[in-house]
Structure 1
Amino acid sequence: MQIDYGIPSDTLKAYSLMFQDYPDVVNVVQMCEMLGGISTKTGYKLLQANKINHFKIGRAYKIPKAAIIAYLHSIMTHQPNSHCDALVH
């Protein structure tokens, strides 16, 4: 089953190349690396606020790489000139 995240194919291809060293499903630490080295605390906040699609196996968060790409695409194309915060406090 493939989920359509509404990402243009050229954008998806570019991000896929950029994140080719990561598995298709990543953990929180890997997600934080992919998002430019954000803290794990911020990473958990993003997940708990459902900003990034994810699922849990037991207590472990699992994040599809495509969901991270969709999140990056959405903040780059839909967020008005907010360059400092990934989360609105």
Structure 2
Amino acid sequence: MTVTPELLTVPQVMARLQLSRTAVYDLIRTRQLASLTLGRARRIPAHALDHLIHTRLEQEAS
């Protein structure tokens, strides 16, 4: 059985990170946050958001 990854919208990521739209798109543009485009819609896999958070926590700890 295949598990479909959860895809988040930019507003959902904005709410979870409490960041502006510009800040989220900057993370995407600089490839710190992976995303994909489906038609005209930008989606962020939930695991990519988790990866960003864990990476930033590790950087802060060192």
Give TM-score scaled by structure 1 length. Answer: 0.58
Equivalent residue in structure 2 for 1:52, among 14, 19, 33:
33
Aligned match of 2:47: 66
Aligned match of 1:26: 8
2:37 partner SS: strand
Aligned match of 1:41: 22
- Deviating 4+ runs (over 2 angstroms): 78-81
* CA distance in structure 2 between the partners assigned to 1:64 and 1:72 by the alignment: 13
Give TM-score scaled by structure 2 length. Answer: 0.80
1:38 partner SS: coil
Unaligned runs of 5+ in 1: 3-22, 82-89
- Higher strand proportion (structure 1 or 2): 2
More relative contact order in 1 or in 2 (CA 8 Å, sep 6+)?
2
* CA distance in structure 2 between the partners assigned to 1:67 and 1:25 by the alignment: 10
- Higher helix proportion (structure 1 or 2): 2
1:34 partner SS: helix
> What's the RMSD between the two structures over aligned residues?
2.3
Unaligned runs of 5+ in 2: none
